[in-house]
Amino acid sequence: MADAMTNPIDFALGQRTRFYEELGAFLRIPSVSAKSEHDGDTERAAEWVREQLVRAGLEAETIATPGHPVVVGEWRGAGAEAPTVLIYGHYDVQPAEPLELWDSPPFEPEVRDGRIYARGSADDKGQLFLHIKALEAHLATRGRLPVNVIVLAEGEEEVGSPNLVPFVKEYRDRLAAQTVVISDSAMFAPGLPSLLFSLRGLAYFEIHATGPASDLHSGAYGGAVLNPANALARVVAGLHDESGRITIPGFYDDVLTPSDETLAGIRGLPFDADEYASEVGTVPTGGEVAFSPLERLWIRPSCDVNGMLSGYTGEGAKTVLPGKAMAKVSFRLVPDQSPERVRKLLEEHLARVTPAGVTMEVVELHGGRPWSARLEGPLFTAATRALERSFGATPVLTGEGGSIPIVVELEEILGASSLLLGFALPGANMHAPNEWFAKDCFEKGIDTLIHLYDELAAL
Amino acid sequence: MADAMTNPIDFALGQRTRFYEELGAFLRIPSVSAKSEHDGDTERAAEWVREQLVRAGLEAETIATPGHPVVVGEWRGAGAEAPTVLIYGHYDVQPAEPLELWDSPPFEPEVRDGRIYARGSADDKGQLFLHIKALEAHLATRGRLPVNVIVLAEGEEEVGSPNLVPFVKEYRDRLAAQTVVISDSAMFAPGLPSLLFSLRGLAYFEIHATGPASDLHSGAYGGAVLNPANALARVVAGLHDESGRITIPGFYDDVLTPSDETLAGIRGLPFDADEYASEVGTVPTGGEVAFSPLERLWIRPSCDVNGMLSGYTGEGAKTVLPGKAMAKVSFRLVPDQSPERVRKLLEEHLARVTPAGVTMEVVELHGGRPWSARLEGPLFTAATRALERSFGATPVLTGEGGSIPIVVELEEILGASSLLLGFALPGANMHAPNEWFAKDCFEKGIDTLIHLYDELAAL
């Protein structure tokens, strides 16, 4: 299959049309891991990844877990002396709801204005696919890779990777690698490639407020019976003070202040509040007033309602005093906060503030620790050079407000260092309607990764 | 058809089995006025009422409105010198959701422990039916009624009676009456019949909070973008202070203090907090701490969340920062508050408290003024005697936390006085799952109304 007549970069250029067609097929599989009705699709997506890895020239197998399967691809032809790089990605996607807000169906990819619109195009199918194609480009043109490669693609990232840590522990020897490479994040701006210095962690809960034994007539009982929906609104509102600071006692105890260098780096980045407002449709007034928007996103924890439901929410006026109310509330964490401690602090806080007449129950749905990169060394140098070669620009160091909880776990279990370089653009609507991935970033992304494998050989 | 061999009370006793069968047929019609999918059922319920009135011996017709039809029944054989009594009721019902909380299907009446369980059994089909059967008992045994009677049964009470006031104005002459009688409320306790001294009014709104242009990733934006669901929770929570008092400036300006006699009457009523707690499943800790539960229900306004929805509320953890959030919030009003003024005050309040980064829009869904009874005179005397004859107990004066907005309108348009005597029992789950009506109250209710028409002849 080797095509010595060309090099990997030119090969990728020549195969671009086919690459887009294949990506389209991948995006058309609605592999929503959170919904059991999509279990068949999720399995189909795993098999699709396995076949692609084999086509690229790796050995690959799909390995069952108690949840969705893990795909493992391997190429070990670089020899025992060469570095081994583990590429982590995920083939599952977020639910697409609310469907009515999509301009084109979430699982029918459509190209508009140089962007591929589809659920998973940015998070993370599109970016996992970049790696597969970069590997294919090397193997198709040179018959070999500059480093040993393991591809680890899971199908449960969007539901908190409940089976991945046990899996990695079980296959610890087979997955042994010095370096973990992950493309599941965004660039700071178009044309400005980025390397991550941190990821926030996550602690995601449901709070269930229960009051009367059943729904009541809001006239016959309103004013006497404490309304669980009012009580829950009060508890949720009380999680922040007027300055946007989270009020849970002890919540900030484990929050570290980043180095002066990191702080200076953040302050040096161009942030245009007007542009941000025009992108998201509103001014960035969330979070702590004492910090800048980028600081609030990257180095400060946050607390958001992800969903809230109580009573009658259909057409018209139902005069009901609901018997219960539910809020999904999640916290983004920064080093050295942990989801376990945040849960404990939240439960203690609720025990203090829950008024008589209702009960509050906390259910933990999802947790992950925050991560910090090692900012020096050959790994960063290699990544910087690869990005410079492809983008013609020096990458900036950025934080990431989102969470990839497996990063810390992979580092600890495998004894590896992680490199996170993503190719989505700001406003890509990951987790929202109209998710997109820029074609330009798709193409530069493959080139970057082709260069990266070369650079990593020098580690 | 007159059966001179017996009297109305004995007739009702003898026909009891048939009456229950007929009530069952009425309750089986799912006449949910709020849901257009039930429009056919609502129309069927109107026609059912019309046929029952004709069977009882009245002339009756179903009159179209821009919404659901109004049924008008008439018997004017008592002569121009005799009083005319207008009986108001409604044949529509609340939505039955959440269906899973019903122990038997809402539209398949089931008798358990001496109670008829079905949506509408208490509110108001069952109580409207009592009047029809009392009229039938008089006409079947005596061939006449002691007073002229108009029955006005609407099908939009549960959606705020949007077409009834125009209807009553249009048919003002035909509906002319000195007295309006309504059975759509509850007794204070089993065996303790009650006459209402007041009804609370209602001002029901949806508040829509809008922030970013679409749902966002809660990691990538959380802490920078103000979350509309957090902001709405804060606004809703802020509607009450720590003492349970509503914080909207000016809200209490129009609240009247009832007479010392009314206050003494309320304080004289037996209220067992433990019994109340066991009935509703929680202690009565809602509302203003400065007032007793009955005062908070009857003579003080209240504010309740009736429904709240934002973000992702399905299974699992979706890390979304919702672009919008909605709360249905209603206020119960007391004399002399008005829904128009409350709306104005709410809008002014929201304009002051809405933080930068979100917008709040208020949509009014439903409004009705509070009502106070005239507590002296022959009307109350007649009702007291009728209740004493049937129940063997002197009625107590009670307030009602719920609203029947049409009462004030009927009084004003027709120049009539209203008498509100209801036969539901506390905990009847009006507007909630497992609504019920006691068979004992059904039977005593018919007897009371048979006596009442006799007593009203003396007005």
Chain B CB contacts of A322 under 8 Å are: 305-307
Instruction: Yes or no: say if B125 and B109 are a contact pair by the CB < 8 Å rule.
Output: no
Q: Which residue of A has its CA nearest to B333?
A: A219
Give the closest of B276, B288, B365 to A317, CB-based. Answer: B365
Structure tokens given for B176: 């002319």
Confidence at B5, pLDDT banded by 50, 70, 90 = low
Instruction: Yes or no: say if B203 and B339 are a contact pair by the CB < 8 Å rule.
Output: yes
What is the distance in angstroms between the Cα of B94 and the nearest Cα belonging to chain A? Answer: 7
* Edge-to-edge strand ranges of the sheet holding A417-420: A59-63, A70-75, A148-154, A84-90, A179-182, A417-420
Neighbours of A202 (CB within 10 A): 27
Tell me what the pLDDT averaged over chain B comes to. Answer: 95
The greatest distance separating any two alpha carbons of chain A, rounded to the nearest whole angstrom, comes to 83
Chain A CB contacts of B227 under 8 Å are: 286, 304-305
Q: What angle (nearest 5°) sits at the alpha carbon of residue B369, between those of residues B380 and B266?
A: 50
Instruction: Yes or no: say if B422 and B127 are a contact pair by the CB < 8 Å rule.
Output: yes
**Cβ contact B322–A328 (<8 Å):** no
Angle of the B125-142 helix axis to the B439-456 helix axis, nearest 10: 50
Tens digits of per-residue pLDDT, B215-271?
999 998 999 999 999 999 999 999 999 999 999 999 999 999 988 988 999 999 989
Question: DSSP 3-state assignment of A220?
Answer: helix
The pLDDT assigned to A1 comes to: 47
Annotated catalytic residue, options B22, B123, B154, B157: B157
Going residue by residue through chain A, which has 459 residues, state the pLDDT in tens, using 9 for 90 and above: 455 568 999 999 999 999 999 999 999 999 999 999 999 999 999 999 999 999 999 999 999 999 999 999 999 999 999 999 999 999 999 999 989 999 999 999 999 999 999 999 999 999 999 999 999 999 999 999 999 999 999 999 998 889 999 999 999 999 999 999 999 989 999 999 999 999 999 999 999 999 999 999 999 899 999 999 999 999 999 999 999 999 999 999 999 998 898 899 999 998 998 989 998 999 999 999 999 999 999 999 999 999 999 999 998 888 999 999 999 999 999 999 999 999 999 999 999 999 999 999 999 998 999 999 987 788 999 999 999 999 999 999 999 998 888 899 999 999 999 999 999 998 898 888 999 999 999 999 999 999 999 999 887
Confidence at B1, pLDDT banded by 50, 70, 90 = very low
* Edge-to-edge strand ranges of the sheet holding A110-112: A110-112, A115-117, A436-438
Known catalytic residue at B447: no
Q: Which residue of B has its CA nearest to A33?
A: B316
Neighbours of A191 (CB within 10 A): 13
The pLDDT assigned to A3 comes to: 52
- Does A212 sit behind a cis peptide bond, omega within 30 degrees of 0 on the bond before it? no
Chain A CB contacts of B311 under 8 Å are: 305-308, 328
What percentage of chain B carries pLDDT values higher than 70?
A: 99
Neighbours of A109 (CB within 10 A): 23
Chain A CB contacts of B216 under 8 Å are: 280, 429, 431-432
Q: What angle (nearest 5°) sits at the alpha carbon of residue B411, between those of residues B363 and B441?
A: 90
Chain B CB contacts of A159 under 8 Å are: 316-317
Q: Which residue of A has its CA nearest to B431?
A: A217
What is the distance in angstroms between the Cα of A180 and the nearest Cα belonging to chain B? Answer: 22
**Cβ contact B284–A225 (<8 Å):** yes
What percentage of chain A carries pLDDT values higher than 70?
A: 99
The pLDDT assigned to B426 comes to: 86
Q: Which residue of A has its CA nearest to B424?
A: A220
Chain A / chain B CB contacts < 8 angstroms: 393
In angstroms, the CA B324 to CA B360 distance is 10
Annotated catalytic residue, options B22, B41, B74, B92: B92
**Cβ contact B402–A97 (<8 Å):** no
Tens digits of per-residue pLDDT, B393-449?
999 999 999 888 889 999 999 999 999 999 999 889 988 899 999 999 999 999 999
What is the distance in angstroms between the Cα of B393 and the nearest Cα belonging to chain A? Answer: 24
Nearest to A47 by CA among A109, A91, A106, A107: A91
What is the distance in angstroms between the Cα of A280 and the nearest Cα belonging to chain B? Answer: 5
Note the Cα B261 to chain centre separation in Å.
Answer: 26
Q: Which residue has the tokens 């008992």?
A: B137
Structure tokens given for A373: 């990169």
Chain B CB contacts of A433 under 8 Å are: 214-215
In angstroms, the CA B177 to CA B45 distance is 25
Segments of A102-219 assigned E as strands: 110-112, 115-117, 148-154, 179-182, 194-199, 201-210, 216-217
Segment of A183-197, B100-114, B366-380 carrying the highest mean pLDDT = B100-114
List, in sequence order, the alpha helices (H) in B28-124. 39-56
Tens digits of per-residue pLDDT, B267-287?
999 899 898 999 899 999 999
Chain A CB contacts of B101 under 8 Å are: 214-215
Annotated catalytic residue, options A22, A41, A154, A157: A157
Q: Which residue of B has its CA nearest to A309?
A: B309
Contacts of A326 (CB under 8 A, 6+ apart): A206, A207, A208, A209, A232, A307, A308, A309, A310, B313
Give the closest of A101, A304, A322 to B321, CB-based. Answer: A304
Q: Which amino acid is at B140?
A: A
What is the distance in angstroms between the Cα of A337 and the nearest Cα belonging to chain B? Answer: 15
Chain B CB contacts of A216 under 8 Å are: 280, 429, 431-432
Structure tokens given for A149: 């490669």
Q: H-helix or E-strand containing B275? A: helix B273-280
What is the distance in angstroms between the Cα of A431 and the nearest Cα belonging to chain B? Answer: 5
Query: What is each CA distance from A49 to A109, A130, B29, in whole angstroms?
Result: 18, 12, 55
Question: Could you please report the per-residue DSSP string of B50-77?
Answer: HHHHHHHT-EEEEE--SSS-EEEEEE-T
Give the closest of A159, A219, A230 to B332, CB-based. Answer: A219
In angstroms, the CA B57 to CA B3 distance is 13
**Cβ contact A280–B212 (<8 Å):** yes
Nearest to B252 by CA among B291, B211, B209: B291
**Cβ contact A293–B229 (<8 Å):** no
Q: H-helix or E-strand containing B338? A: none
In angstroms, the CA B75 to CA A274 distance is 72
Structure tokens given for B293: 């539960």
Interface test with B, best of A102, A225, A294, A332 (most B CBs within 10 A): A225
Tens digits of per-residue pLDDT, B39-70?
999 999 999 999 999 999 999 999 999 999 99
**Cβ contact A211–B281 (<8 Å):** yes
Annotated catalytic residue, options A22, A74, A92, A454: A92
Chain B CB contacts of A318 under 8 Å are: 34, 94-95, 306-307, 328, 431
Contacts of B85 (CB under 8 A, 6+ apart): B147, B148, B149, B150, B177, B178, B179, B180, B181, B453, B456
What is the distance in angstroms between the Cα of A175 and the nearest Cα belonging to chain B? Answer: 28
The pLDDT assigned to B3 comes to: 53
Q: Which residue of A has its CA nearest to B236?
A: A233
Give the closest of B312, B318, B430 to A217, CB-based. Answer: B430
Chain A CB contacts of B355 under 8 Å are: 285
Residue B376 has pLDDT above 60, yes or no: yes
In angstroms, the CA A214 to CA B265 distance is 30
Query: What is each CA distance from B297 to A223, A225, B198, B288, B334, in whole angstroms?
Result: 6, 9, 11, 10, 10
Nearest to A210 by CA among B101, B337, B97: B101
**Cβ contact B307–A316 (<8 Å):** no
Nearest to B88 by CA among B436, B367, B375, B371: B371
Chain A CB contacts of B280 under 8 Å are: 212-213, 216, 221, 225
Interface test with A, best of B156, B297, B304 (most A CBs within 10 A): B304
Known catalytic residue at B92: yes
What is the distance in angstroms between the Cα of A326 and the nearest Cα belonging to chain B? Answer: 8
In angstroms, the CA B209 to CA B229 distance is 7
Query: What is each CA distance from B124 to A247, B215, B287, in whole angstroms?
Result: 47, 42, 27
Q: Which residue of B has its CA nearest to A358?
A: B282
In angstroms, the CA A306 to CA A303 distance is 9
What is the distance in angstroms between the Cα of B137 and the nearest Cα belonging to chain A? Answer: 32
Tens digits of per-residue pLDDT, B310-333?
999 998 888 999 999 999 999 999
**Cβ contact B202–A319 (<8 Å):** yes
Instruction: Yes or no: say if B217 and B320 are a contact pair by the CB < 8 Å rule.
Output: yes
The pLDDT assigned to A5 comes to: 65
What values do phi and psi take at A101, rounded to 5? -90, -5
In angstroms, the CA A160 to CA B100 distance is 30
Q: Which residue of A has its CA nearest to B202?
A: A219
Burial B95-130 (b: 16+ CB within 10 A, else e): bbbbeebbeeebbebeeeeebbbbbbbbbbbbbbbb
- Does A124 sit behind a cis peptide bond, omega within 30 degrees of 0 on the bond before it? yes
Give the closest of B159, B302, B315 to A223, CB-based. Answer: B302
Chain B CB contacts of A225 under 8 Å are: 280, 282, 284-286
A59 beta partners: A74
